[in-house]
Structure 1
Amino acid sequence: MSKKLLDDTSKFLSYVLRHEPQAIGLSLDSEGWAGIAELIEAASRDGRSLSRELLEQVVHTNEKKRFSFSEDGQHIRAVQGHSNQGVQLQLDERQPPAVLYHGTATRFIESINQKGLIPGSRHHVHLSEQLETAREVGQRYGKVVILKINTSKMLAQGFKFYQAQNGVWLTEQVPAQFLEAI
């Protein structure tokens, strides 16, 4: 399968499994799972050709590990990044490393300095253990700024952290006093 087909399918899956399942007439359960047969059928009605084989390729080759199959292999979901209010992933609270990172663009710094990091339309703020991953994410939005998050101080004040299946760290917000631009 071509890289373009895999990339296009990954973008489509991100759209329908994270944000707008109703755009193709798909329903997700409260944990974000969609039946594979229903997804293939809904995509077909929308003029998109999906197959089990294509979905398996996307799930297994996606560098960011954005999707997973259910244990029985009959359902698929995005592992994090949902903006769909009907989806509330049941994530286990985890102990993060002492420092995490967030990449953003310079044009957002003034707002971040006032409000901290907020999830916007998503359920959580996304953080990374790796400086380079944060840099790659930030570069998508313009001239990059890397923010260092003091998670030890946040934990001491009662903030909670979760880790998605793909390693992305999640929290509900990061107030500005826990941020340092590096």
Structure 2
Amino acid sequence: ENKILKYAVEPPEFLYHGTVQNSLINILKKGLLPMGRQYVHLSIDRSTAEMVGSRRKGDLVVLTIRAKEAFLNNIQFYKEENGIWLSDQIPSKYIVE
């Protein structure tokens, strides 16, 4: 797998991830995983996360990620030029419903 390499940067205190209700139990158990993509995609605000999450079929849920706390515990974050934040994965302990 040819993963595009990124340089880690410190994220804001919170980031957001839009998903569907059906995925919630798995996410709260295993954390956020790339699921076939290179990275987990995160948004800077709830409204963007809602827009991204609404592309999926099902009842929308926006998760709050305690990004700064995760970063301080060695979880890497990367910022794209388009404002999207990426991470390799987010352990469930940093996810708030």
TM-score (norm 2): 0.92
Q: May I ask how many residue pairs the two structures share in their alignment?
A: 96
Of residues 138, 143, 151, the one that matches 2:53 is: 138
Alpha-carbon contact 2:15-2:45 (below 8 Å) kept: yes
Show structure 1 runs of 5+ residues with no match.
Answer: 1-84
Report what 1:109 is aligned to: 24
Equivalent residues in 2 for 1:58-137 (5 A)?
85-86=1-2, 88-137=3-52
1:90 Cα deviation from its structure 2 partner: 2.9
* 2:96 partner letter: E
Runs of 4+ in 1 over 4 A off after TM superposition: none
Q: RMSD of the TM alignment (CA)?
A: 1.0
Equivalent residues in 2 for 1:22-61 (5 A)?
none
* 1:163 partner letter: K
Partner of 1:146, secondary structure, is strand
Distance 1:113 1:93 in 2: 24
Distance 1:101 1:125 in 2: 11
Show structure 2 runs of 5+ residues with no match.
Answer: none
Report what 1:164 is aligned to: 80
- Larger helix share, 1 or 2: 1
TM-score (norm 1): 0.51
